[in-house]
A and B are shown apart, each in its own frame.
Chain A
Amino acid sequence: MLAACGSNTGRGGNGQALRQWYHAYGEPGVQQAVERYAKSYPKTPVDVQWNPGDYDSKLATSLLSDGGPDVFESTLQISSVRSGQVVPLDDVFGDARSDFSEPILATHTVDGKVYGVPQAVDMQMLFYRKSMFAQAGVQPPSTVDELIDAARRLTRDGVKGLFAGNDGGGGVLAGPALWSAGLDYVRDHQVGFDDPVAAQAIGKLRELYTSDSLLLGAVKDWAEPDAFTQGLVAMQWTGLWAVPAVQKALGDDFGVLPFPKLTSAGSPSVPVGAFGAMVNAKSKRIDEAKEFVRWLWIERTDYQEDFNLGYGFHIPPRKSISAKASKLTSGAAADAVKFVRDNAKASNPPDWTSVMRTAFNDAVSRVVRDGARADEELRGAAAKVRDELKRLYG
């Protein structure tokens, strides 16, 4: 049965193998790579299961039952910690802990304990077309107002200034808008955007939306660089993963930027997130599973480098590896590494629950798309987030 679902490790599904789950990475070769890693583990046989489709739902369901994996990759949510689905991995890190990027480690930490070993860092940033900027005589923006102005001036001849998602930017840019004003989703167990400046920051997204310079309703959404590479826009918000495709289509005719700052209290930002290797608390072999995680994601630095840079384009979460990776020393990739070092913000902190996210996203959407009053909407969302924080932390 296991052999039918997962891969054949050559040892067969004899019930002795540890079960490890991955979601289906898009880049060719990753599946073979992770199977190769697992096969070379000397202590225990490991069955790798590759999960195409809706991985999050499948994983969540399997963690409720006894049939889940021993080791799996995921982002950390406080609810899985509170319901005891994952085990702390602090002792797995050892001396290597300080080698991990601090903001990345924070996305796998709840109540001071680390529950996931970061595998690969993904980050989002702003791509801009150098030739179009030169033609329009526009400088790369360093403040939010300059960004709005640039988008407006670059909108001409059927080309739009900016593409930031088919929802008009309220989805992917809401976080960066808060950070641009020195705010956040949640900070020290308190609402991070309960501040009059938040209305101003989200109001800027409304200004962008109504400036007629956004591309809306593109065939592929923001995660794919198609609108940018097809010349439909002069700027697009997408991620590091798009760099190879953009390079192939546009050569050197592009640059990358963090989301700029709004006020002097704020700072430029790039949202980051990382899948981490975790151990299922319902596993009957927790110690073996932890040892495997330690071996694969701490000890075998050669595999970590291969996993991050051999197939797609990710930043290794360990500073010692990312510093020596030759692919990350020039061009847009080098800029991205620098942004992650200086401007990283957690795109999805563990205690930003789905209730909070829905409340906040709904509010932002109503402000950006319907022109609702930003202060009222955000106050409503803040109240909901506060209730949820009270439930979590008392």
Chain B
Amino acid sequence: MRNGRAFWLFVGPFAIGLLVFVYVPIVWSLLLSFFDARNTVTPTSFVGLRNYADMLTDKPFLSSLGTFSVFAAFIVPLTFVLALALALLVNQISFMQAFFRSVFFLPTACSYVVASLVWKLSIFNGVRFGLANTVLAWFGAEPIAWTVSTSPPWYWLVLVTLRLWLQLGFYMILFIAGLQRIPHHLYEAAWIDGASRGWQTLRHITLPQLQTTSVAVVLLLLVAAYQAFDEFYNVLGTDRGYPPFARPPLIYLYYTALGSGGQDFGHGSAGAVILTLLIAGVTLLQGRVITR
């Protein structure tokens, strides 16, 4: 009895918070997706699957799913390889390890919004005295309008470097944790058997032992890429709305559901459900493929 009370005392507040702020909104938005819900969250006009049909034939929404794929194709492998490389390096060094670990981890603590503004306004602004353009000027190159130009699409450079800087440290820490759990005797045994210290041990001991970590990292990276919003919104969004390129699904849904000039919760919710199913599907598939 006492135990039960203590359980609810500790778990209760979180359970209630979870219920009120997570589960109720999810169920609510599922309901909204079947209604014509413009400027209301208590709609009365049931439309069945029409919102879903609209979203699945909506070109901008489909192209935003394409945008995600492009972004994920860049950012997932890049972060994975670089985070692993950093983890291997930091784990190897015998001096100032804590220092380097902290230095690489520190950007994780930075807000996406703040970092976006630094990238947009000081490093990659388009005027001749921006940081990147100053460096270009040393080599006699013309200033580039980084976040404006679409051919070539320089904005990808801005967005990918920004996210790399922000998330690399976090995944490095995950890999370091994984590396430290590999028993040292495995390496010793390999060396006795004549394995070389570099590639062979990495290929046959380190990487296989990191499999669980790798699965988790890829999963987290994919979900994070799907959910891209903050840096895109802050780097490319203007007071006139968001340009049609590099528009992640969440940004498109945000403008659909909450944009000024009419809130359309029906279509917005339908899009959100489609996106959720897609993330769940890809995650399950990916988990199955890698762990097989």
Contact = CB atoms under 8 A, between A and B. Distances in A.
Contacts of B127: 215, 217-219, 227, 232
B30 to A, nearest CB: 18
Interface in A355-386: 355, 357-358, 361-362, 365-366, 369-371
A60 interface: yes
Interface stretch (A79-87, A261-269, A338-346): A79-87
Interface string A67-89: 00000000001111011010000
A167 B148 CA distance: 6
Interface string B127-167: 11010000000000000011111110000000000000000
A362 B247 CA distance: 11
B38 to A, nearest CB: 6
B260 A166 contact: no
Interface string B188-218: 0000000000000000000000000000000
How many A residues are at the interface, by size bracket? 35 or more
Contacts of A370: 150-151, 245
Given A218-B125, A366-B244, A60 B150 contact: no
Contacts of B264: 354-355
Given A57-B258, A353-B262, A369-B243, A362 B60 contact: yes
A30 to B, nearest CB: 20
A165 B40 contact: no
Given A166-B126, A216-B148, A217-B146, A60 B240 contact: no
A188 B263 CA distance: 23
Interface in A53-108: 56-57, 60, 63-64, 77-80, 82-83, 85
Contacts of A219: 121, 125, 127
Given A166-B126, A171-B240, A217 B147 contact: yes
A223 interface: yes
Contacts of B100: none
A50 interface: no
Interface string B222-256: 00000000000000001111011100000000011
A353 B130 CA distance: 37
Contacts of A365: 243-245
A262 B264 CA distance: 36
A358 B241 contact: yes
A179 B41 CA distance: 37
B39 interface: yes
B150 A166 contact: no
Given A218-B125, A219-B121, A354-B260, A362 B38 contact: no
A281 to B, nearest CB: 11
A218 B262 contact: no
B121 A172 contact: no
Interface in A193-232: 215-219, 221, 223, 227, 232
Contacts of B124: 217
B259 interface: yes
Contacts of A232: 127
Contacts of B40: 64, 83
Given A216-B145, A218-B127, A172 B240 contact: yes
B17 interface: no
Given A217-B127, A217-B146, A165 B238 contact: yes
Contacts of A172: 240
Contacts, number: 107
Contacts of A83: 38-40
Q: Which of the listed residues B41, B245, B259, B260 has the most CB atoms from chain A within 10 Å of its own CB?
A: B260
Given A168-B148, A215-B127, A216-B149, A64 B241 contact: no
A37 interface: no
Nearest to A171: B240
Contacts of B149: 216, 369
Contact of B145 (A79, A217, A352): A217
Contacts of A362: 60, 243-244
B151 A167 contact: no
Nearest to B260: A56
Contacts of A79: 38-39, 261-263
Given A354-B259, A357-B261, A221 B238 contact: yes
A168 B240 CA distance: 12
A42 interface: no
A223 B151 CA distance: 26
A112 interface: no
Nearest to A359: B60
Given A79-B39, A217-B130, A366-B244, A358 B238 contact: no
A85 B39 contact: yes
User: What 7 pairs between A and B have smallest CB-CB spacing?
Assistant: A217-B126, A171-B240, A216-B145, A354-B261, A79-B262, A83-B39, A362-B244
29 contacts: A57-B258, A64-B40, A79-B261, A82-B38, A82-B39, A83-B40, A166-B148, A171-B238, A171-B241, A172-B240, A216-B126, A216-B148, A216-B149, A217-B145, A217-B146, A218-B125, A218-B127, A223-B239, A227-B127, A232-B127, A353-B261, A353-B262, A357-B261, A361-B240, A361-B241, A362-B60, A362-B244, A369-B245, A370-B150
Interface of A: 56-57, 60, 63-64, 77-80, 82-83, 85, 158, 165-168, 171-172, 215-219, 221, 223, 227, 232, 348, 352-355, 357-358, 361-362, 365-366, 369-371
Interface of B: 38-41, 60, 121, 124-128, 130, 145-151, 238-241, 243-245, 255-256, 258-264
